């Protein structure tokens, strides 16, 4: 992260995850500032992570090269407008982790002509296992892109998209995606209990199977379709389960779900931009 000073506006769970990831990645704690009106949050961050905290957002902006806007989407307009004068004066790179707020809307709230990166992380970022989609406006230079990527890469993988509309697809896939897998795990555990397994046995076998399958997919050179074919013996038990999924149109169910999430992401962006 070189010698950039990074200021976090907001000290919620995602900010804490990013700060923890940056520290684990070797960023000097002296380069990180967190600002939040909640004094208890600030004191807890200083105590737990050793970083400097403030209750004055404008002072944080004045000292920062990179500003991470880590406030709830519903609060972002009020916060951004209150920061606009300081942002215009100091011209830091702005990195937004707020879902649903488009870059042109946020840029207007901040006074215009800002270097802005919009991101869509997901909740596994809190375990440094996140997946984040990133979009940079044309005001962002190469060094700033690298700086933004360094921040988000501290909590998992990052992927840049060329068009901002693609962030809605990222939201539908990885932003909301953890809940889809939780639902599958929930359903598998319930079905296993119906087959006679105890709750604890069903839970542990479900979770370890999910973890193992994910690791195989990550570490193998084969794509998921090939991996599925390799473990589906003709005439075997797996084949019967796969046939049942296919007969019930699992692919179409998943497609409809992602399209619904995608459409809702667009709707929320329009609402937040009004």
Q: Taking a C-beta distance cutoff of 8 angstroms, is the pair 175, 99 a contact?
A: yes
Residue pLDDT, tens place only, 130-175: 999 999 999 999 999 999 999 999 999 999 999 999 999 999 999 9
pLDDT the model gives residue 3: 85
Q: Kindly report, as residue ranges, where domains of CATH 1.10.3730.10 are found in the chain.
A: 177-269
The residue length of the chain stands at 274
How far apart CA 118 and CA 98 sit, in angstroms, is 8
* Over residues 79-108, mean pLDDT: 96
pLDDT the model gives residue 242: 97
Query: DSSP letter string over 83-147?
Result: HHHHHHHH--EEEE--TT--HHHHHHHTTSS-EEEEEE--GGGGGT-EEEEEEE-TT--HHHHHH
Residue pLDDT, tens place only, 227-244: 999 999 999 999 999 999
Provide the Cα torsion 82, 88, 91, 94; round to 10°. 40
How far, in Å, are 172, 182, 225 from residue 263 at the CA level? 9, 22, 27
How far apart CA 48 and CA 50 sit, in angstroms, is 6
Q: At the topology level of CATH, where does 177-269 sit? A: ProC C-terminal domain-like fold (1.10.3730)
pTM of the model: 0.91
Residue pLDDT, tens place only, 106-136: 999 999 999 999 999 999 999 999 999 999 9
Q: Which residue has the tokens 């830091």?
A: 92
Residue pLDDT, tens place only, 29-73: 999 999 999 888 889 899 999 999 999 999 999 999 999 999 999
pLDDT above 60: residue 199: yes
Residue 65 backbone dihedrals phi, psi, to 5 degrees: -90, -35
Taking the mean position of all CA atoms in its chain, how far away is CA 147? Answer: 17
Q: Which residue has the tokens 């105590």?
A: 47
What count of Cα atoms within 13 Å lies in the side-chain half-sphere of residue 29? 12
How far apart CA 198 and CA 205 sit, in angstroms, is 11
Q: Which CATH class is domain 6-163?
A: alpha beta
pLDDT above 60: residue 1: no
Residue 71 backbone dihedrals phi, psi, to 5 degrees: -115, 165
How far apart CA 94 and CA 87 sit, in angstroms, is 9
Regarding beta strands 115-120 and 130-136, do their DSSP bridges make them parallel or antiparallel, or are they unpaired? antiparallel
* Over residues 178-204, mean pLDDT: 98
Can you count the helices (H) and strands (E) in the chain? Answer: 12, 8
pLDDT the model gives residue 2: 67
């Amino acid at each position: 992260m070189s010698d950039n000073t990074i200021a976090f506006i907001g000290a919620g769970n995602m900010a804490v995850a990013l700060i923890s990831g940056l520290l684990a990645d070797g960023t000097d704690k002296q380069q990180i500032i967190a600002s939040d009106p909640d004094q208890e949050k600030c004191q807890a961050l200083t105590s737990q992570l050793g970083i400097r905290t403030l209750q004055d957002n404008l002072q944080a902006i004045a000292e920062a090269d990179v500003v991470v806007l880590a406030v709830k989407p519903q609060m972002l307009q009020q916060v951004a407008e209150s920061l606009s004068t300081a942002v215009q004066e100091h011209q830091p790179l702005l990195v937004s982790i707020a879902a649903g707020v488009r870059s042109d809307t946020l840029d207007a709230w901040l006074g215009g002509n800002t270097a802005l990166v919009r991101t869509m992380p997901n909740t596994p970022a809190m375990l440094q296992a996140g997946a984040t989609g990133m979009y940079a406006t044309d005001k962002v230079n190469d060094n700033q892109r690298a700086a933004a990527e360094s921040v988000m890469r501290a909590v998992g993988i990052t992927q840049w998209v060329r068009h901002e509309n693609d962030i809605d697809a990222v939201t539908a896939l990885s932003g909301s995606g953890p809940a889809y897998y939780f639902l599958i795990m929930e359903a598998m555990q319930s079905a296993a209990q119906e087959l006679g397994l105890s709750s604890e046995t069903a839970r542990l076998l479900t979770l370890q199977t999910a973890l193992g399958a994910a690791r195989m997919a990550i570490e193998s050179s084969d794509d998921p379709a090939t991996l599925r074919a390799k473990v589906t013996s003709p005439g075997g038990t797996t084949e019967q389960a796969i046939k049942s999924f296919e007969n019930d149109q699992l692919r179409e169910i998943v497609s409809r779900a992602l399209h619904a999430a995608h459409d809702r992401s667009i709707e929320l962006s329009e609402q937040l931009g009004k």
